Amino acid sequence: MKTDRHVALIPAAGVGARMGASCPKQYLPLAGKPMLAHVLLAFASSAEIDHVYLVVSAEDGFIDGMMADWPALAGRVSVLRQGGDTRHQSVLNGLNALQDQLAETDWVLVHDAARPGLDTGLISRLVAALRDDPVGGLLALPVVDTLKRATVDGRVGATVPREAMWSAQTPQMFRYGLLRKALSEAAAVTDEASAIEALGLQPRLVEGSPRNFKVTLPHDIALAELHLKETT
């Protein structure tokens, strides 16, 4: 019998400055939908996910229109207008806002708004792998490229062994109480696993997918559309 709930938390308060677009990158059109809609629909369609919480900035002028355009999200997604200046702060603000709604042992899956290649299969894989894990974990991919460490003048300083190296993805899935404690105590971190590691714990690595990459630069849009069209 299912006891602890699984909820998704999507920090989406960023402006995507490197994209150079006229709106935050999470609202850019991608294969017929805003990028953020792909993410929200993946979680809303997952049988493992009890509810989805979206953290946006208080000044976000796009979210109401997007939610109205996708009625399938109604009742499955709650918008929290408590985004911070960083991803770390947005996630922590979202967790703090949910302290009366989530139990300490409920699972929280934090996912980047700019990873539209997520699907229900990846969500199921992560949930199944971590269901009884004492720490939690994240989707990630083994590094296959040769890694080089650069010098200050842009030359190769060293070749870094790639064995045991993984590239972190999201969702990153941890118990609500543990994750809130970790992010409250951590200095600025770029992902939730880093905050958990700072407590001396070791998150589990669960193999993800190349399609679940983060859209960061303009040329990433075309690649993301290619992946999405392969599954439609």
d(CA 79, CA 54): 5
Report the alpha-carbon angle 166-185-89, nearest 5.
75
User: 195: buried, middle or exposed (CB in 10 Å: 19+, 13-18, 0-12)?
Assistant: buried
pLDDT, position 1:
46
Strand partners, 54: 10, 79
Any idea of the CA torsion for 25, 29, 31, 35, to the nearest 10 degrees? Answer: 40
In CATH terms, 6-230 corresponds, of 3.30.360.10, 3.90.550.10, 3.40.50.300, 3.40.190.10, to 3.90.550.10
Average pLDDT, the chain: 93
Per-residue confidence (pLDDT) for residue 2, from 0 to 100: 54
pLDDT digits (tens, 9 = 90+) for 51-62: 999 999 999 999
Where are the domains positioned within the chain? 6-230
**Does the pLDDT value for residue 102 go beyond 80?**
yes
77: β partners: 52
Q: How many CA atoms lie within 13 A of 225 on its CB side?
A: 12
d(CA 43, CA 31): 18
Per-residue model confidence as pLDDT tens digits over 29-39: 998 899 999 99
Q: What is the pLDDT of residue 19?
A: 52
CB 140 within 8 A of CB 166: yes
Whether the CB-CB separation of 150 and 157 falls below 8 Å is answered with yes
Contacts of 11 (CB under 8 A, 6+ apart): 55, 83, 87, 90, 91, 94, 110, 112, 113
The answer, yes or no, to whether residue 16 has pLDDT greater than 60, is no
Calpha distance 97→82 (Å, rounded): 8
The per-residue pLDDT for 231 is 64
pLDDT digit string, tens, across residues 104-157:
999 999 999 999 999 999 999 999 999 999 999 999 999 999 999 999 999 999
Q: Mind listing the pLDDT tens digit for each residue in 72-96?
A: 999 999 999 999 999 999 999 999 9
**Residue 178, SS3 per DSSP:** helix
Residue 2 · residue 127 · CB < 8 Å: no
